[in-house]
Structure 1
Amino acid sequence: MTRDSRYATTRRTALKTTLGAATLSLTVAGCLSSDPEAADFRIGAPWKPTRDPLDGGTLLRRLGITEALVSVDYDATPAPGLATDWERVGERRWRFGLREGVTFHDGTSLDASAAVASLRRTANATAFADIPIDSIEAEDETAVVVETETPFAPLPAHLSRDEAVVLSPDAIGDDGSIADPVGTGPFALESFRSGAEIRAARHDEYHGREPSLESVRYEVVEDDQTRRMKLESGELEMARILPQETVDPLDSDGGIDVHTYEVPRIRFLTFDTTSTPFDDRRVRRAVHRAIDREAITESILEGLDEPAVGPFSSTITDWANPDVDADAHAVDPERARSLLLDAGWTTGSSDVRTRDGEKLAVEFLTYDARSLPLIAEAMQDHLAAVGIDVDVTTVEYSSMVDRVSQGSFDGYLTSWGIFRYPDPDRLTQLFHSTDATLHHGYENDRVDDLLEEARELTDRDARRERYHKVQSIVLEDAPIAVLTNFTNVVATAADVDGYEPHPTESRYGLESITVDEE
């Protein structure tokens, strides 16, 4: 399958208008001033930036400030980055050959010792606690050798993660802290306002394609409609993560292009499998069968997103299990009622089921992003129809994480990028009994064995076979209920050319973008 067919981009292009409000104000290239309109290219998105790649520094990578040894190509597979090649030179030993002629933004040259200093910081961080890296050494000035405690096939994919970007040694304090991130990307950090704004300027010594843009400003615009209005008024050249319902109105607005494209991201409900009522697999499966995913995608998501039952989309990757039959797990309220009855939850005088005098009443937590509260309300109606009383509580994302990490929840609705790194080892973080970062408490020895075996194997077919089995088992056990795949909506001014959405959202590709000044 070709890249174009697997990551089809629908580009809805409207003709430019002569409205003054849509005219883009571009500054003289080469500097960033205190004027918020001064940057050549202005991006608005809801996500707050952080300085340290180990503390959510995703935006530094997306804006082209930082780079890693391993990149991710448009087929969502590991590709050369600061390392031009790598090989497994032993069962537990990997060699990464470094790209020549790379300069950090502070003028320091990239060599193996610089890469080692940065990567050791990454390997010692909490984010990499489950990655069995034993040692990182410089073989010579041009090669880094990584040895793992156990055979670990997905190592290159993990070294493509945002936490694994390579920073200048001078950017890392004696205590390991980061004052200002100094990377090797096409853009260098100019200024940073925590949680609010990043400004960057073109790195003239960049080793790759020289950007046309001379300056970039990223602005946090949390409200969806405000991002849209800023784009329409010419205050932004790019507005990201727009709601699905804005697609048609923006289509008809002259001067704006809309890009819609599926990314490997899912919306899903996570159960607490350790306490009543979701410690019973039958109840979890009943919820799974009661939810009308088709209705959710059509009524709430404008038909842009697809219903899903598994973590991987077969349109994106062959790591998806082709034997998972969505129709066999489609909405079936009668089957849901039967499962609940089998679990002892009976109907009585009220519409809510009871067992031993206890009502089947649960609380689902979620947060205000990616249409999750609206989806939760729809699920509330679907589950009420089979006798489950659901209370939906919308909180800040951090508050939700704090609460579920303490085990005080019934279920929570969230959204994950399922290819945060381009390897199905991501299933370990979803389902492994001790290594999962989801808080479901799910334990299945067979799943653990399959995930651990797949981590060690070199043969891709053998790994794929095990990951396919994992997907089948967890669909039946239902520690989570996957609801939908995800379609990104990104809008740009029609003057913008060269934007190509990246399938894993790891970068915005600003080095390829031009802006027509006419």
Structure 2
Amino acid sequence: MVIKLHLKVLAASCAAWAAVSTTYVSAEEKVFDVVAPFEIVGLDPSVSGFIFQRMQVTETLLEADAAGQPLPALAETWSVADDGKTWRLTIRKDVKFHDGTNLTAAAAAHSLNVARSKPGILRNAKIESITADGNDVVIRLAEAFAPMPALLAHSSTSILAAAAYDSHDAVQKVIATGPYQTTLVQPPQRLAAQRFEQYWGRKPALEKTTYLAADRGETRTLMAESGDAELVFQLDPPSIARLSRAPNVQVLMGPVPRVVVLAVNSGSGETASVETRKALSLAIQREGIAAAVLRAPGTGATQMFADNVTAWHDPTLPPLAYDPDAARSLLKAQGWGPGSDGILEKNGARLHLKLLTFSDRPELPLIATALQAQLREVGVDVTVAVANVSAIPAAYNDGSLQLALFARNYALVPDPLVTLYGDFGHGGAEWGAMGWKSLQFDQAMTALLDSKDPTEQQALRNKMLAQIQNELPLLPVAWYRQTIAVSRKVEGAAIDPFERTFGLSTMRWVE
């Protein structure tokens, strides 16, 4: 029954994909088809901007290089006042929106003000105003915010034409400046686009493309294997092995600033003490999970960031270790003793924890099961619940969250500091630390937001990293490697380390 159900799901997904292909293009046209697990929630960049950005429909004022350093994009130059509170960005000339209108500083300022009015990345900076001054966008802050360029590269700050908004500034159509313009958007699953012939930069070789949201990993794998999609994003470990043997597909793998973490409630319950969190960490055999579950030896997380995130990796930190005997000793010192079935007890209560995760990333339930077995070895009883992704913030907000397993993307903006600022500061957040408050950490982070001295900046980063390593408000499990499957009918594919683009504009059909 389960097998039949899965086959029906696969068939339905493939039928939906076939409908996209046959509806929007003729059989003789070459169309580059992308499949990924992310649904198109809406047209507004604040909710689905990352999809439009990855499909190179929308663009931002600034871009980022492979190291996360800012690059010109729709703004060709930028500067900041000595006090760090006023940023001035000069808009590139001769850029047209997809409706043929010209990009202006006023249009850019309007998009940023719409983004600023909604929950999103711009709220990390204390913005007083965003205005147009001739051909410049001027952003005035109440306090200095050094990573401001990283915010202006985030997908939620994508610049849209005036006609994209209705009279209440709700996005009614995606009219942007990218090398591709949409010909169809059907939330939550479909998007079709074609090359924008008036694009200001280098025009891509691929003329037409489509996007399909398919949440099931096996669906995406089947589509790559059958040739129904040219690029499949995010593969589970069994699919990587399977597609690596397929003659028509190449599998690419590369490190990205994403970390699989076990979030632990540091504010209440049995995990509120640092010693208990250290015991849980010592019970995790990270490299075993990396090799056996993720099939990526060498990615067991010995600290928060891998060495490919140079500024946020401190090679002098003592690595997170696997030592179950030390874990048992720490738990014993906390008053826990084994019950008749080996599960630890204290004052008649068992050491039982609930771990929430979700299947959008297919490796997470597998890792959760491995963690469940490893923690049981030291006497901790863990119940794994695989729910919708929304279950974690819901449990965080109602105070019931004990453990949560997820892959946190510290490249949401090109500078990880911005994500860390929201995840760790002032008591944490739903996708960060839970109930962990540290004045010392907050002071170091505030100083880093204001610092212009590279030496001082690195010292502050190392201070923050050491505190995370010592107090473990999050338990790093594995460093992430992104994987994609690409048809051998195209060349020029690559993995963007900041996951900002699928790379459509750099690929071309093999003749």
Match of 2:62 in 1: 70
Match of 1:228 among 221, 225, 236: 221
Give the distance between the partners of 2:321 and 2:362, measured in 1 at CA: 23
- The DSSP-based 3-state class of the residue aligned with 2:258 is strand
Q: Which stretch has the larger CA shift, 445-454 or 38-47?
A: 38-47
1:342 to 315, 333, 336: 333
2:391 aligns with 399
Change (3 A) 1:178 1:353: same
SS at match of 1:277: helix
- Contact 2:357–2:405 (CA under 8 A) maintained in structure 1: yes
Deviations 1:107-150 (A, max 9, x none): 1111110000001111222113332111111121x211111110
* Deviation for aligned residue 1:400: 2.7
**What is the CA-CA distance between 1:349 and the residue it aligns to?**
2.9
- The equivalent residue for 2:7 is none
Whole-Å separation in 1 of the counterparts to 2:35 and 2:28: 13
**Partner Cα distance (1:64, 1:476) in 2:** 41
Structure 1 vs Structure 2: percent identity of aligned residues? Answer: 28
Counterpart selection for 1:377 from 363, 369, 373: 369
Question: 1:305 Cα deviation (Å)?
Answer: 6.1
Q: 1:473 aligns with which of 441, 444, 467?
A: 467
Change (3 A) 1:177 1:439: farther
Cα distance in 1, alignment partners of residues 28 and 38 from structure 2: 20
Q: Is the deviation greater in 60-69 or in 218-227?
A: 218-227
Q: Runs of 5+ in structure 1 lacking a partner? A: 1-24
Instruction: Tell me how far apart the structure 2 counterparts of residues 200 and 439 of structure 1 sit (CA, whole Å).
Output: 39
C-alpha displacement of 1:41: 0.4
Q: Decide whether the 8 Å contact of 1:304 with 1:487 is kept in 2.
A: no
Offset of 1:304 from its aligned partner? 5.0
Q: Which amino acid aligns with 2:476?
A: V
Contact kept? 2:124, 2:422, Cα under 8 Å: no
Q: Cα distance, 1:188 vs. partner? A: 0.5
Matches of 2:297 and 2:173, distance apart in 1:
39
1:207 counterpart letter in structure 2: W
The change in CA–CA distance for 1:408 and 1:35 in structure 2 (over 3 A counts) is farther
Secondary structure of 2:374's partner?
A: helix
1:222 Cα deviation after fit? 1.7
Asked whether 1:464 is paired with 2:458, we answer yes
Structure with bigger helix share is 2
Q: 1:241 to 1:235 in 2, by over 3 A?
A: same
**Following the alignment from structure 2 to structure 1, what is the Cα–Cα distance between the partners of residues 281 and 109?**
46
Q: Deviations over 1:398-441 (max 9, x none)?
A: 23322222221111001111121121312212211256453601
> Partner residue of 2:14?
none
Deviation at 1:457, TM superposition (A): 1.0
Residues 211-360 of structure 1 mapped to structure 2, 5 A cutoff: 211-303=204-296, 306-326=299-319, 329-360=320-351
> 1:323, CA displacement in angstroms?
1.8
- Residue by residue over 1:297-351, the C-alpha shift from the partner in whole angstroms, topping out at 9 and shown as x without a partner, is 111111256011333221232332222232xx21110111111112121224331
Q: Is the 8 A contact 2:423 2:433 kept in 1?
A: no
Matches of 1:436 and 1:220, distance apart in 2: 28
Q: Distance in 2 between matches of 1:469 and 1:94?
A: 28
The letter of the residue matching 2:245 is S
Contact map agreement 1:312 1:418 (CA 8 A) in 2 = no
Deviates more, 1:223-232 or 1:441-450: 223-232
SS of 2:270 mapped into structure 1: coil
Alignment-mate amino acid for residue 385 of structure 1: E
| 1:131 paired residue number | 125
Work out whether residues 43 and 238 of structure 1, in 8 Å CA contact, stay in contact via their aligned partners in 2. Answer: yes
Offset of residue 153 of structure 1? 0.3
Where 1:75 maps in the other structure, the secondary structure is coil
The letter for the 2-side match of 1:378 is: A
Q: Supply the distance in 1 between the matched residues of 2:82 and 2:93 (Cα, whole angstroms).
A: 25
Say yes or no: does 1:454 pair with 2:448.
yes
Q: Which amino acid aligns with 1:342?
A: A
Match of 2:76 in 1: 84
C-alpha distance in 1, partners of 2:364/2:390? 15
Counterpart of 2:463 in 1: which secondary structure? Answer: helix
TM-score (norm 2): 0.91
CA contact (8 A) 2:181 2:195 kept: yes
| Paired AA for residue 333 in structure 1 | P
Matches within 5 A, 1:359-508: 359-368=350-359, 369-425=361-417, 426-434=419-427, 436-437=429-430, 438=432, 440-508=434-502
SS class of match (1:430): helix
Q: Distance in 2 between matches of 1:218 and 1:303?
A: 28
Quick check: 1:176 aligned with 2:169? Answer: yes
Letter in 1 for 2:420: L
Compute the displacement of 1:32 (Å).
7.4
Query: How many matched pairs?
Result: 487
Q: Does the CA-based 8 Å contact 1:40-1:216 persist in structure 2?
A: yes
In the TM superposition, residue 43 of structure 1 has moved relative to its aligned partner by 0.7
| Conserved? CA contact 1:309–1:475, under 8 Å | no
Counterparts of 1:172 and 1:155 in 2: how far apart (Å)?
25
> AA paired with 1:238?
L
**Equivalents in 1 of 2:166, 2:285: separation in Å?**
52
SS at match of 2:269: coil
Work out the CA distance in 2 between the residues paired with 1:169 and 1:460: 40
Secondary structure at 1:175 match in 2: coil
* Equivalent-residue separation in structure 2 for 1:467 and 1:124 (angstroms): 30
Deviates more, 1:433-442 or 1:252-261: 433-442
**Is the CA contact (8 Å cut-off) linking 1:70 and 1:80 kept in structure 2?**
yes
Work out whether residues 65 and 185 of structure 1, in 8 Å CA contact, stay in contact via their aligned partners in 2.
yes
Residue 381 and residue 238 in structure 1: after superposition, are their counterparts in 2 closer, same or farther (change >3 A)?
same
- Offset of 1:57 from its aligned partner? 2.3
| AA of the residue aligned to 1:49 | I
CA RMSD of aligned residues (A): 2.0
* Conserved? CA contact 1:130–1:435, under 8 Å: no
Q: Distance in 1 between matches of 2:237 and 2:281?
A: 24
Which among 165, 169, 174 is matched to residue 158 of structure 2?
165
